[in-house]
Amino acid sequence: MNSAEQKTTASERVRYLCFSLGDEEFAIPLLQVKTVTGLPDVTKVPNAPAYFMGIMNLRGQIISVLDLRKKLNIKPNESGETAVIIVEFSNHQIGLAVDAINSVVSLGQEELQPRPDMMSGKNIDFVTAVYAKEDRVVLILDVLRSLGAEDKTVVDRITSKSA
């Protein structure tokens, strides 16, 4: 294989951040991740949806934090390792609370499989692919697609009040 072929193969690989929600493992493209932090003190916001944990201060920036476990109806793991993944959403940075950060993997398109047909439908369209990892299956999420118009409205409202 010449160096041009090696570059093409390497450039087709995408790095994913793997994390746990309950007993399941998920991953999102690492390029969507701004930073990862431990769960800081979060200030509750009245009248927000149940899966909105509140707002946090990250280096002087107010960030809305939502519990991805509640958003996706997954029972949280009681490990106490809760982390927050910061992503860009609707011109704001938001935090997504997850049970644990597991690893970063580099995957080629050939390692990803389409989601099973039974996983189709409006409520699961944010699962874009699956990855077989040893004896487990990792669901690849389009986390921005999992957040809907209601979430955008709430984030806009909370962020504009906090500014």
pLDDT per residue of the chain (163 residues) written in tens, 0 to 9? 444 444 445 458 999 999 999 989 999 999 999 999 998 889 998 888 888 899 999 888 889 899 988 888 888 777 777 899 999 876 778 999 999 999 999 999 899 988 876 655 555 678 889 998 788 889 999 877 777 666 667 766 666 655 4
Of 75, 57, 53, 25, nearest in space to 151 by CA: 53
Architecture per CATH, 13-162: Beta Barrel (2.40)
Alpha-carbon distance of 55 to 64, in angstroms, equals 4
Alpha-carbon distance of 163 to 158, in angstroms, equals 9
Q: Which two tokens stand for residue 160?
A: 């504009």
* pTM higher than the cut 0.75: yes
- Could you state, in order of their start, the residue ranges of all structural domains in the chain? 13-162
